[in-house]
A and B are shown apart, each in its own frame.
Chain A
Amino acid sequence: MTLRIAVCVKYVPDATGDRGFADDLTVDRDEVDGLLSELDEYAVEQALRISEEADDAEVTVLTVGPDDAKDALRKALSMGADKAVHVNDEAIHGSDVIGTSAVLAKALEKTGFDLVVCGMASTDGTMGVLPALLAERLDLPQATLLSEVSVEGGLVKGRRDGDAATEYLEAPLPAVVSVTDQSGEARYPSFKGIMAAKKKPVEELELDDLEIDEDEVGLAGSWTLVESADARPARTQGTIVTNEDGDGGKQLAAFLAAQKFI
């Protein structure tokens, strides 16, 4: 039996660019280059490692995003994923997380899977909740925020480092997992991988293919409303002193005392 692994990846604006908002208060995608969310590289990596351990496995990467989101899929394919699914529909623009999760859940059902692997959070929305929402919608166990993950005998196992404790989790397949940036360095695509990726299949889906109504998604279908988005005034540089005279610690102490910290 082939182990079918589906990896959800997001196409995001480069975090090192000057990110901002468009007039409709959605993410401005024109000003900053987009890329595969760096945190989703860890998801692709773990999916590939699990597939390499399995007798027979197939890794499919899925994204919900605009035309350029294909770049994110290509990157994942060049890392070694087998095929890709791109859900792309103008009506999805502006969806909140509830809407996005509805689309992704339907796309996963259509694709078929035994294991869904997600990143810990996107680098733009950074909510870290989509995997939990997929589990809820698909009625599957969630084993999320794992820093260590493996599949053995029909079970997914992993380590979750929480706020107050470290937990070892276990769930039968099918299941939804998310992995952190502690789970293991992601591989770089090889030249061979990049060439091979060009020939791998990318399936294109629209809302109609998923039997989703337009009014369930997009800005109109959102259950949240952004009222305003304002650039924070940049922090202004305060006083900079040097330790040339060997009294930097004393000067800093004087500042902290003046601010009543000591």
Chain B
Amino acid sequence: MAEILVLVDHADGAVRKPALELLTLARRLGEPSAVVLGAGEATDAVAATAAEYGAGTVYVADGAEFADLLVVPKVDALTQIAKEKGVAAVLVTSSGEGKEIAARVALRLGSGLITDAVELEAGAEGPVATQSVFAASYQVKSRVSHGVPVITVKPNSAAPEAAPAAGTVETVTVAFTGNAAKVVSRTARVSTGRPELTESAIVVSGGRGVGAAEGFEVVEKLADSLGAAVGASRAAVDAGWYPHSNQVGQTGKQVSPQLYVAAGISGAIQHRAGMQTSKTIVAVNKDPEAPIFDLVDYGVVGDLFEVLPQLTEEIGAR
């Protein structure tokens, strides 16, 4: 069976959920192999999880380079493995870093690149990727027509399904090349205890209508009652009310949860670009003419400071 290489993204010693989605999707195309880079002491645990989700082989490489230099060492490793094993496709998570890695790997392999796939299927001439483009107003189907397909896939594109496989660990000695920027320091993001924005099944977002940093308390309380992640519009982020890491939209995170709740958000095209593919959309806005209402499955015209607390209370009472 065709070998499909999956770069397994990990943080804090654990496999990140989008990597499990990639392993699940890879099984549609062939037999997944995982690549685990720079995981240090967590390598065994990460490899074991990859095996649980279908990796027949887990290629492992470790070294200070992966943390000390930007992007290039991972490109070196992935390219080397892809070439040595003659794989049929390479899958990477669509994050800022993931896309950069994938692009350079594609160029080194002499292959085409597709980014931001939301769906992946086997086709007669190789994997067919679906992209959701122009702020999710178009669906594009495309494929790589030259070389080994290198494709990045957005988080939440598939539900991870376990499928235990051998997970034979193969240690790889990487020949590091290239001219890379040095990472002089790194501060891990402090976890809020809430789900990851891009991975969460429910997202509750606040916008300019929230009015102040303190106003986000009603948004957070609703989010916590639903077990949801908290998002924000760029207007709220630019005002300094909520961190940029929580921004939803074209220049923030693109989310595709089961339920998206927009509170005090007008629904500008750049915001829609980050949430329009959500399964169910709900909005609370004072202005009945707000464009966000064009997208909603359910909308409440009203003051978010009345509607959100009442909803939170109702949820608590159930």
> Which B residues are in CB contact (< 8 Å) with A175?
181
Which single member of A139, A244, A262 contacts B226 (CB below 8 Å)?
A262
A129 touches B115 (CB 8 A): yes
The proximity string for B residues 111-149 relative to A, scoring 1 for CB distances below 8 Å and 0 otherwise, is 111111000000000001000111111111111111100
| B139 CB contact (under 8 Å) in A96, A127, A230, A235 | A230
Stretch at the interface among B57-65, B82-90, B161-169, B281-289: B281-289
Given A39-B251, A235-B276, A246-B306, also A129-B99 (CB < 8 A): yes
Q: Is A22 an interface residue (CB 8 A)?
A: no
Residues of B within 8 A of A246 (CB): 306
Q: Collect the chain A residues with CB atoms within 8 Å of residue B11's CB.
A: 163-164
Category for how many chain B residues contact A? 35 or more
A20 vs B133: C-alpha distance in the bound complex, in angstroms? Answer: 10
B239 interfacial contact with A, CB 8 Å: no
| B174 within 8 Å of A (CB atoms) | no
Closest to B317 in A: A253
Within 8 A of B (CB), among A232-257: 232, 234-235, 237-244, 246-253, 255-257
**Is there a chain B Cβ closer than 8 Å to A169's Cβ?**
yes
A57 within 8 A of B: no
B107 and A232 form a contact (CB under 8 A): no
Distance in angstroms from A30 CB to nearest chain B CB is 15
Chain A residues with Cβ under 8 A from B303's Cβ?
Answer: 243
- Find out whether the CB atom of A161 lies under 8 angstroms from the CB atom of B245: yes
Known: A224-B142, A252-B282. 12 other contacts (CB 8 A): A15-B250, A39-B251, A97-B103, A97-B113, A132-B104, A143-B181, A164-B12, A164-B189, A171-B181, A230-B139, A232-B137, A237-B294
Pairs across A and B, CB under 8 Å, 16 listed: A131-B100, A141-B180, A144-B70, A161-B245, A165-B188, A167-B187, A169-B183, A223-B147, A224-B145, A231-B137, A237-B294, A237-B296, A238-B296, A241-B301, A256-B259, A256-B311
Residues of B that sit less than 8 Å from A by CB: 11-12, 70-72, 75, 95-97, 99-100, 102-104, 106-108, 111-116, 128, 132-147, 178-189, 202, 226, 244-245, 250-251, 258-259, 269-270, 276, 280-282, 284, 288, 293-303, 306-315, 318
- Which 7 A-B pairs give the minimum distances between C-beta atoms? A249-B310, A243-B302, A223-B112, A253-B314, A223-B146, A129-B103, A171-B181
